[in-house]
Amino acid sequence: MGRKALRTTTVTSREFNQDTAGAKKAAAKGPVIITDRGEPAHVLMTYARFEELTGGSHDIVSLLGMTEGTDIDFEPPRAEGLIKPVTLG
């Protein structure tokens, strides 16, 4: 069975503020991209779609526990100059 095609809608922040109900109706058909100064800034979707994307996990601990991508190399930069010497007395 194929996936249902989602219709993506793009609205400006102003349009979203003026017609929130219309944006919610559009989100029922697919994601709504809300732009700010011409750049994508937010995405509105139904809660059901959010559940599909997150697999029902809403907390960061569960999301970080996902096994996909466990072979990612991560080397954080050293924090230089943040530690000050302790002066006693």
> Which whole number is the average pLDDT over 4-10?
80
Give the number of domains in the chain: 1
For residue 17, is it within any domain? yes
Q: Is the dihedral of CA 3, 52, 74, 85 positive or negative?
A: positive
Residue 6: predicted pLDDT: 72
Residue 65: predicted pLDDT: 66
For residue 23, is it within any domain? yes
pLDDT digits (tens, 9 = 90+) for 20-73: 999 999 999 999 999 999 999 999 999 998 888 877 766 666 666 666 656 667
Residue 85: predicted pLDDT: 76
Residue 22: predicted pLDDT: 96
Assess whether pLDDT exceeds 80 at residue 3.
no
- For residue 86, give both structure tokens: 């302790």
Looking up residue 13, the CATH number of its domain turns out to be 3.40.1620
Q: Which residue has the tokens 């029922």?
A: 28
Which residue segment(s) compose the domain that 11 sits in? 1-44
Burial of residue 44, with CB atoms counted within 10 A of its CB: 0-12 exposed, 13-18 middle, 19 or more buried: middle
